[in-house]
């Protein structure tokens, strides 16, 4: 009888992936349903409309909101299934090949770049902050950075000892990088839109 030790399941990473994916999916679904309601009734006021600044109406109705010819919300509802599925599979004991992690990272990198672009369009072009969009941004940022470093740091993608130590150090600083991204986003939005004054008046 074999008594080889079973690989430790990455419970924390798996649970994080599930929760982040579920939050992103819910926010995307809310945006999609609100978008459909505005299509059915042009006078409908979306539930994310708080003020002239904090609203999703202009974003949904803009070309930026349908970059590929259909609502970006459809991308979110579809794409956020991936981290949920990855997290559930890891909890069940799945082990993915290196090619899978690289493909998954490529998808998350695309999501991160897309989020950065959408943020720039919201702040510098549309002049609004969409609450549900900000939820999507908030979960996409850590999903990307954590997954960018972790597979190399823990050996899921084999590297030389020196490279793995480097990624281990980077991985230990992940939350600092994530926090820095949040601060940069908030600072740019404040300089451009003065959102703190908006919330103070609310």
Please write the tens of the pLDDT for every residue from 54-111.
888 788 888 888 888 889 999 999 999 999 999 999 999 999 999 999 999 999 999 9
For residues 150-179, b (16+ Cβ closer than 10 Å) or e, as one string? bbbbeeebeeeeeebeebeebbeebeebbe
- CATH superfamily for 11-201 is VKOR domain (1.20.1440.130)
* Domain range summary for the chain, segments of one domain joined by +: 11-201
Please write the tens of the pLDDT for every residue from 140-161.
999 999 999 999 999 999 988 8
Considering the entire predicted model, what is its pTM?
Answer: 0.90
């Amino acid at each position: 009888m074999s008594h080889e030790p079973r690989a430790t399941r990455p419970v924390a990473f798996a649970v994080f992936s599930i929760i982040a994916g579920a939050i992103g999916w819910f926010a995307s679904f809310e945006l999609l349903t609100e978008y459909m309601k505005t299509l059915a009734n042009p006078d409908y006021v979306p539930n994310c409309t708080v003020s002239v600044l904090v609203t999703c109406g202009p974003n949904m109705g803009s070309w930026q909101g349908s970059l590929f010819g259909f609502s970006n919300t459809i991308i979110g509802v579809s794409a956020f299934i991936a981290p949920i599925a990855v997290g559930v599979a890891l909890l069940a004991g799945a082990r993915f090949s290196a090619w899978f992690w690289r493909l998954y990272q490529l998808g998350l990198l695309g999501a991160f770049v897309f989020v950065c672009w959408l943020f720039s369009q919201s702040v510098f072009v549309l002049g609004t902050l969409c609450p549900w969009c900000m939820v999507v941004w908030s979960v996409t940022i850590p999903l990307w950075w954590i997954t960018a470093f972790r597979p190399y740091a823990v050996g899921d993608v084999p590297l030389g000892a020196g490279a793995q130590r480097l990624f281990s150090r980077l991985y230990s600083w992940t939350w600092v990088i994530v926090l820095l991204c949040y601060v940069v986003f908030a600072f740019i939005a404040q300089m451009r839109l003065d959102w703190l004054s908006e919330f103070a008046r609310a």
